[in-house]
Structure 1
């Protein structure tokens, strides 16, 4: 299908549960002011993790009770499901959509909410109960808490989605991939609204493997807010985080008919893999594929490299930060003039499967309010990044500026890549 014949797609609703805020307004203020959501985690210390810092959303029992009935909360241990339901229902409400009636589902509304691992705590409980011969103590919700599609299925029942309802799983790319999948479904006329995003559980049973790989920092246990240091010469590893981001994508014509708030327009995107070839592997990105994904996103959006004013990178505070920046420079053919570049991981950590969706919410807030949020904890730019980029374009304070086009990318475990091009809507 010719690009000109595709439906235009905009963002009309957002919801977020993040380590530094658990609603959209507070999340905007937290990113704008640099408020950190990284804290000392006693549970990790007690379990003898090397890293004792995490980014865990601070939800109260009262907040959770606003989204779940007492019956639903009975035996509910899947934190990712809790985060995803709250973020999803908030995004739906923010978009001004109405829940389906009892008889008919919303035929033009679908859901793609992804996750990496679901229900770690529930799995732990299940293993002990089954091994003890008490399988019937598992409860009736153990399946929905532990299946990957549980989050989308739960939200579908709450909201009445009658279009495509599914869940994807693609490591750190999950949320950005879901966003692109939802965008394409609307662009090709197969839905009018899609609730997209991703969620990730909290806790040691999700984060333990990364601590075992020794890619989490161990020298900042007494300085949790300083532990995540993207772009910095002393970056020592990523801080494990969790939460959920949810976004309502909508056909422009439908949004205008409803008089909906529009945060921005989606004008293109791309997904690919490096196939573990050349310098790519299960844990390392193939640079050629990363560059190809960025270029494919620009081509899909029908824009040139110099049209981009801001980049929200993946940039995890590891030894690969400089390599990612180098790939951005090559893909966008950057010379003298460079777009602003930031990463939210300095204040929220790496939220794993939820990273892309939470960071997309932040990116759309930047586009809506014409600001580039600050990068925290840069002692001194990594020397390789200094050679590639200007310090003033990797801001350490929030900058008010003109952003017409912003590109957001995620690069995931397994050598997978996703890039989205967003545009200010006039």
Structure 2
């Protein structure tokens, strides 16, 4: 009997070395050793230029776009000692995350003994650590928002009076873009400090307010520190659901503030979860779902083209430009969408097959919430409550209004709400009735 062939050797781990603006001089011995022993050095042109000649490996600049090129580059240099350069801490908004995800995708399940790690990380102080050291800000109390590869509108979600923010810039023009956004959202008095080339010999700080920002673009390697100050008369926006109705551009198709707060409570957003907002109207439910946590995701489905565009404008204005808007009629428009963790139906509730499609799309433990103001849809929700349980409530809100020289109550249309959690074993899908459309 011939001996079994030897097992293939485990691939060499990829080293990832963080480097700062101080270059080679700022690296510890372990990082230098990894760079000196590498056969292939991959990084941005600026990072590669910081290395001395004694780092003799082949220098390979990242192509653009970067993420799709990573698997091919790693494959092209398989079997060689590869070292990737990163700005600052590779695992803080850095290439370390991308490499971790790509290598995880390439792993094959095995019952054999665990293999050695595919990555070796050599961290360096991040630009955020340097910035907090210069400013005297406690790192744990400072929120960080990156605009590298992301829309500046993401910043709007974090604007609160007295809030301290560090913004990772996408380039030399980012400070002026941030100043314009602050002015547009009523935060012109905010103190801005732009910290360039942190930790390096060309470190510099520029300072001013958003209202008077006229500093010309300088070094692209910068971090923006914001002491947020709201201008007088600018309405505050809460961190919890139930923003003022006036915060939204709308044509009346808007889930009103108090009903919206109750609806979000029933939907129970959690970090990383995905919402389908069907019959989006003005997008308020999806927008406040996204504002609950920066990792929440949402898709708004709206059949009216004008309203679909309006949802996008509201999302950008309220700091969640990542809201995906699908223009189309449900249930057909739901085909191919990723599996939701929660579904809200605010319009078109009785469209044939809609409720059944939403129920089937939900995983076990997924939540569904449907609101209506009509008797026909209310009967449908009562049927769903009988079949699937959950909670059926009526929400009634009245506002005080002038009545002559006195004050009285004006009752808004009551909203019937059905909410349920999909159990492990379900009965047949909910039925449908003739189509109608509403947005409480």
* Greater RCO, CA 8 A, separation 6+: 1
Larger radius of gyration: 2
Q: TM-score range, shorter-chain basis?
A: under 0.3
Write 1 or 2 for the structure with the bigger share of strand: 2
TM-score (norm 2): 0.22
Provide TM-score, normalisation by structure 1. 0.23
Richer in helix (by share): 1
